[in-house]
Amino acid sequence: MASIDIAAVRKSYGATPVLRGIDLTIANGEFVVLVGPSGCGKSTLLRLIAGLELIDKGEIRIGGRRVNDLPPKDRDLAMVFQSYALYPHMSVRDNMSYALRLRKTPKEKIAAALKGASAKLGLDALIERKPRALSGGQRQRVAMGRAIVRDPQAFLFDEPLSNLDARLREQMRFEIKKLHRDLGATSVYVTHDQIEAMTMADRIVAMNEGVIQQVGSPSDLYDNPANLFVAGFIGSPAMNFLQARTVAGPGGMSVTVGQAEIAKVPPATPTGPVVLGLRPERITLTAPGQGAQAAVDLVEPTGLGMIVHLDLDGQQLKTFTTERLPLKAGERVGLMVPPGSFCLFAPGTGERLAG
């Protein structure tokens, strides 16, 4: 196992910059998830670590060793691909032992490694099968098995669960996390799915347009997003963004939407237009007359609770509550936002404002 250090890495395809200066240190044994919309450069970054693409500028070190010019085979990393990339003409056994056979590992050692991995992944019964005789979930397991028999410096995952259906995805998420707990292997995991990122990561690296937007623990990114991008990307249902103003009043500084005061803000906050970020589940619905006044637009029950779409002074807003409220479209409600459970962003740059 090893740490991975990425310093000032840049990559362009022709004239199109894909990564615009990436700095990131992944500690030994850490599970780091690179997350972002498609085209944000997360897969490219993973491929640079893997050695499948060449770095234009900057440096990558694995376990302290500079690997910029090392071909993939000499980096000792295991990778799980979205398409699984199982060798179609080889049995599960041969797929999993290919790396070891390339390294001329003694037969007994290969057999032991295979046994351990196939037991861990529940592949014992399938060991002689060809990939085409396996289901999607089984293929996924074999791809994982191919990685873990090797005991590599680090694991790289390139959207490994995207081809699975929702239930299987949830299960594999759990299994990958458990494997990581058992093996303690340095892992870099690429996904566009923020739920995968939230549930699996020790640390999340949120990326957009070739730039790291924020690095932090899942709760960090959720509670304290650094900018509008991260705030909007992490969380489902997504954070509400309202055009608001900070104004000084007799009771101190507050943030208002239209005429309605939403919450108090620290006195040091400058006055002017802001973007108010509100997590749907942090908004409390109250009887009309209390708090800011809004009208119910639509109610979506989810089973666990309900998503209530509101109209607040002409702006759309979602709230989530686990209470089963008898709300109807057109009904008026009040809403309250507890102190400290909202974010303010600068309207121009999208950067987080203090407060």
Partner 1 sequence: MRNPGYWIFHYGLLALFVVFALFPLFWLFKVSITPNDLLYSEGVRIWPSRMSFDHYGAVLRHSDFPLFFRNSVIVSTLTAFFSTIFAAAGGYAFSRFTFGGKLWIVGLLLVTQMFPLVMIVAPIFRLLAPLGLTNSLTGLVIVYTAFNVPFAVFLMQSFFDGIPKELEEAAMMDGASRFQALLQIIFPLTLPGIAATLGFVFTAAWSELLFALMLNSSTAASTFPVGLLAFVSKFSVDFGQMMAAGVLALIPVCVFFFFIQRYLVQGLTAGAVKG
| Positions that interact with partner 1 (CB under 8 A) | 50-52, 71-73, 76-79, 81, 83, 85-89, 98-99, 102-103, 146, 150, 156
Q: Which is nearer to partner 1, 111 or 253 (CB)?
A: 111
Q: Which is nearer to partner 1, 79 or 204 (CB)?
A: 79
Provide the H-helix boundaries in 184-318.
Answer: 194-200, 218-223, 228-233
Helix/strand/coil for 199? helix
Minimum distance of partner 1 from residue 188's CB (angstroms): 13
Minimum distance of partner 1 from residue 33's CB (angstroms): 19
Minimum distance of partner 1 from residue 46's CB (angstroms): 11
Q: Which is nearer to partner 1, 120 or 150 (CB)?
A: 150
The residues, any chain, with a CB within 8 Å of residue 271's CB and separated by 6 or more, are 245, 246, 247, 248, 253
Provide the H-helix boundaries in 103-245.
Answer: 107-121, 136-148, 166-183, 194-200, 218-223, 228-233
Minimum distance of partner 1 from residue 75's CB (angstroms): 8
The single-letter DSSP state of residue 94 is H
Q: Which is nearer to partner 1, 83 or 286 (CB)?
A: 83
Number of Cβ within a 10 Å radius of residue 276: 25
Helix/strand/coil for 76? coil
Minimum distance of partner 1 from residue 90's CB (angstroms): 9
Minimum distance of partner 1 from residue 52's CB (angstroms): 5
What is the rounded CA–CA span in Å between residue 204 and residue 189?
9
Instruction: Give the CA distances from residue 6 to residues 10, 59, 116, 156, 330, in Å, rounded to whole numbers and listed in that order.
Output: 10, 6, 33, 15, 53
Minimum distance of partner 1 from residue 130's CB (angstroms): 12
Q: Which is nearer to partner 1, 97 or 246 (CB)?
A: 97
What is the rounded CA–CA span in Å between residue 294 and residue 308?
11
What is the rounded CA–CA span in Å between residue 216 and residue 310?
32
Nearest to residue 125, comparing CAs of 144, 141, 106?
141
Q: Which is nearer to partner 1, 88 or 251 (CB)?
A: 88
